[in-house]
Amino acid sequence: MHVSDLWAARRAVLLALASTVVLSACGGADDATPSDPVAALQPGQIKSIHAAQHGGAPGLAGGVISDGKIVVAADGKAVSTGTAPLTPEHWLHLGSNGKSMTAMAVPVQAERGTLRWSDSLEKLFPELAATMRPGYRQRTVLELLAFRAGFAPMLQRSAFEPVPVTASTLPEQRLAFACWLLSQPPVNAPGTTTEYANASDILAGLITERASGIPFQQTIQDTVLCPLGLHGQYGLPQTVGPDQPAAHAQPEPGVYQAVAPDDPLALQVPAHLDSAGLLCMPVTDYARHAQIHLQALRGKPTLRTAQTYQVLHTALGQISGSDFGLSPGWGVLTQGGKTTHEFTGSTDLMSAHIKIDPAANRAVIVMNNYAAGASLDTPFTQSAAQLLALKPAR
């Protein structure tokens, strides 16, 4: 569960589809018009993109979204060795894109008075004060989720091997991780530098769990997913049901091997990393998630206030040497006076990308059921260029 190439989050990776599903917007959104950017998308165009850019890969799914319309589709297979097609109704993994759901849980607790964006780690973990590094003590929840706490990135599974987590329950595992993490030296000056870190959202899971008084995964269901009409579950899609898509490893270029949820390769990702990137959901629901944030950024927020969405989408700083900033659960790219909100996540077995362009009234998602590895960049970037170049239908 890492952003397999953080710089890939700057690129507009896009989608591949064969059969198209059109969904109407909920919550009073405007009807799509003939000039709606979604109207240009045609199934045949997407199928050809999949064949040209992702040939041999098991399956791709995605969507193009405006604030009034969603087009969602898929191409390829649910399982490489089977015959069942991948569909828009199938569940796929979000990887680190699930961090946006973790971030959404914080303002709910703030509204209930059990947590504030300004709460410090010292206040939230008084029992760890004796071993907590001084630089972490005054870091706030907002700084934590905006990746300014000074934590090590921990992008690879091997980074978690030194963590002494042996407890049986997830809350106990999260606390053991927090105890270890807050005793480690920072990799940069806490509160001054933006650097992506999986550890931040693992700690956020524990903070949210404590504030709500119920387990983290149930907190997300009760306060984020269900109120927004979304479905989600932590784990690989086949934990939802045997008819769901398999994850696929890529032991060598062009060779895809299905990986079951109980496969040792899948189990290498510790369960207490759930808040940092183990969520899966139907493709259609992830498209709706994109639309919710697109609408909010265009002045039509759902459930939470416009101010809350502004906090979620405002970067506190940029990654050194780049114009790419990080906000709670999102990447924020500003170039030439134009701002987009995007992220790429991967478990090394599945990948997902989201990009929101409020000014253009367009959002896109792409999800796959295979390890993209180094191929994550070029094919998806080319797919994005082709789809973004489509002109609205007249």
Q: Which range is least confidently modeled, 45-54, 204-213, 350-359?
A: 45-54
> Cα–Cα distance between 341 and 9 in angstroms, integer?
9
Fill in the DSSP letter of residue 253. Answer: T
Q: Is pLDDT of 197 > 90?
A: yes
Whether the CA torsion 52, 54, 55, 61 is positive or negative: it is negative
* 113 residue type, one letter: G
Q: Is pLDDT of 130 > 60?
A: yes
Domains in the chain (CATH in brackets) are: 94-234+308-337 (3.40.710.10)
What average pLDDT does the segment 203-231 reach?
Answer: 97
Write down the residue that tokens 């990009």 correspond to. 355
Cβ atoms of 199 and 156 closer than 8 Å: no
Average pLDDT, the chain: 85
Q: Is pLDDT of 148 > 70?
A: yes
Q: Is pLDDT of 78 > 90?
A: yes
Question: What is the 3-state composition of the chain as percent helix, strand, coil, each rounded to the nearest 5?
Answer: 40, 20, 40
What average pLDDT does the segment 66-88 reach?
Answer: 91
**pLDDT, greater one: 49 or 225:** 225
pLDDT at site 92? 97
> What tokens appear for 218 in the block?
């149930």
What average pLDDT does the segment 100-120 reach?
Answer: 96
Cβ atoms of 346 and 2 closer than 8 Å: yes
pLDDT at site 328? 98
Residue ranges of alpha helices (H) inside the chain are 43-53, 99-112, 121-124, 134-137, 141-145, 170-181, 198-212, 216-220, 264-267, 274-277, 283-297, 306-312, 377-388
Angle at 184 between CA 178 and CA 185, to 5 degrees: 140
- Per-residue pLDDT tens for 347-392? 889 988 898 999 999 888 888 898 765 444 556 556 655 665 555 4
What average pLDDT does the segment 66-95 reach?
Answer: 92
pLDDT at site 48? 67
- Per-residue pLDDT tens for 263-307? 878 877 888 999 999 999 999 999 999 999 999 999 999 999 999
What average pLDDT does the segment 81-93 reach?
Answer: 95
Phi and psi of 166, rounded to 5°?
Answer: -125, -5
Q: Is pLDDT of 15 > 60?
A: no
pLDDT at site 17? 31
